[in-house]
Amino acid sequence: MAGASAAVEPFTSALERLDLMSTDTTTTPEALPAGVSIVRLAGRTWLLAPGDELSFGRGPDRDIRFAYEPEDDWVSRRAGTLVGLTDGVLIRNDSRTQGLVLQAFPGPEMPIGPQVTLGTRPFEQLRLVVPGRHGGRYALIIDTRRLRGGEPAAEPAVVPPSTPPTNPAARLTPRELRLLTALCEPMLTLAGEAAVPATYREVATRVGQTAASVRTCLDALRHRLTEQDGIPGLRGDPEQPERGDYRLPLVRWALQSATVTRAHLDLLR
């Protein structure tokens, strides 16, 4: 499925058009079949079903080919591969020297180093940036919303603490879940450098409590998840200068485990 060379796309313009409604109405998300992920680049659209693959890069054997006319030798001939999953897309960096950047929208920016593989979950709309020469950037838009057939996300359910737990998330109290959601809110609603965990003061303002009580509750939750449930990585990185601030490890666990999703933002209303 080799296509025409893609022009370098400004970083901000692709974010503004992330849902990328094509001028061809037959390729709008509503018109496309359910159960597939949608990949777009330079006005073209590819469908990626679970179990299928789409290769991308500068080489003539790539399914999604770009940066070849004119040639941008900074882009690898075999830059990477997209692997369709039932709940997202697996992104494999096939280059031995060049990195990729995955930009969730909303959500954080995540580097994908050479020979590294990264999944899109829990994010549904993303932008995969392939760096080019002279600061150029080639942007593949990945939209996984059609995997769930366009159906609205389920409403968040809070399981009472008395219910026998089958996983750590089931043991969160309503207050813990609400505070954790507020902590994660910027990661679910913002992009780039702004997509960082909320501060304790911001969480307190959001939920109408004091910063001290918010920190006490979240610290107790983190300790319980570490000591009783064996969740790794919640103690932070002692090599980092922000030692003692464990918000980011807690937020990463909450998002990666789907303990907190965009549906839970309703708890903050």
User: Distance between CA 171 and CA 163 in Å, rounded?
Assistant: 8
Region of poorest pLDDT, from 64-78, 162-176, 191-205? 162-176
Is the sign of the CA dihedral 6, 46, 79, 58 positive or negative?
Answer: negative
User: Which tokens is 146 given?
Assistant: 């059609």
Nearest-angstrom CA–CA distance, 142 and 125 = 6
What fold is seen in the domain 11-148?
Answer: Tumour Suppressor Smad4 (2.60.200)
The model carries a pTM of: 0.53
Q: Where are the domains of the chain?
A: 11-148, 168-268
The pLDDT-based confidence of 231 (bands split at 50, 70, 90) is confident
Rounded CA-CA distance 189/195 in Å is 8
For 68-125, the pLDDT digits (tens) are 888 888 899 999 999 999 989 999 999 988 889 888 877 777 888 889 998 888 888 8
Q: Residue 106 is encoded by which pair of tokens?
A: 């909303």
